[in-house]
Amino acid sequence: EKGDEVTITAGEAAGIAWIACAACSSRRAFWCPRVLTLRLTGLLPLVTDNLPMRLLADQLLDGSASRTAISAGEGGVGINGAIWDMNRIDVQAQQGTRERWNIHADTPQVVPYSGRAVPDQTRQRRAQPMAEDRGWKDTVWVDGDVELLVYFNQPTSEHFPFLYYSQTLEMADRGTAGS
């Protein structure tokens, strides 16, 4: 109902006896257990859109998708043998396009890759993608070979390029990043 409140508390409120003791002592703190109060205003509905009855398969390739091969840590250095240079653009794509990226990590460890603000879908691993790999993500665990469908839906520029990189500290220290 509009105007109603819900309060989240931590513990119980201080009783009259505790308040009287605190008022007479040098300790003047009155403990309030209120953490958060929510007040309904009636401005926005809780659910704004109807949920679909069933999920449809993605229309993934409604045109051509280029392929980009990325090798992480090949020879112990960078991506595709190059250390990241913030003044170099490694991959150029038009906004609204999709690319298939084949990522290979030759190190025995699992390498997390992030494409900030650019969603991707894991399309293939050594076997079918696990359930947790399905759907659009911004991070993927690379152990061996992985094929991603990368969707460039955000605008970028020379001054604010899209970045992709390893989140493993040892790999990042060796320049495993690109733009």
Sequence letter at residue 97: T
Q: Is the pLDDT of residue 157 over 60?
A: yes
For residue range 100-146, what is the model confidence (pLDDT) as tens digits?
A: 877 777 764 445 455 555 666 666 565 666 777 777 777 777 777 77
The answer to pTM > 0.95 is no
What DSSP letter does each residue of 39-80 carry, written as one string?
E--SSS-S--SPPPSSPPPP---SS--EEEEEEESGGGSTBT
Helices (DSSP H) in 1-156: which residue ranges?
16-24
Domains of the chain: 1-51 (no CATH), 66-178 (2.60.40.420)
Cα 91-136-168 angle, rounded to 5 deg? 60
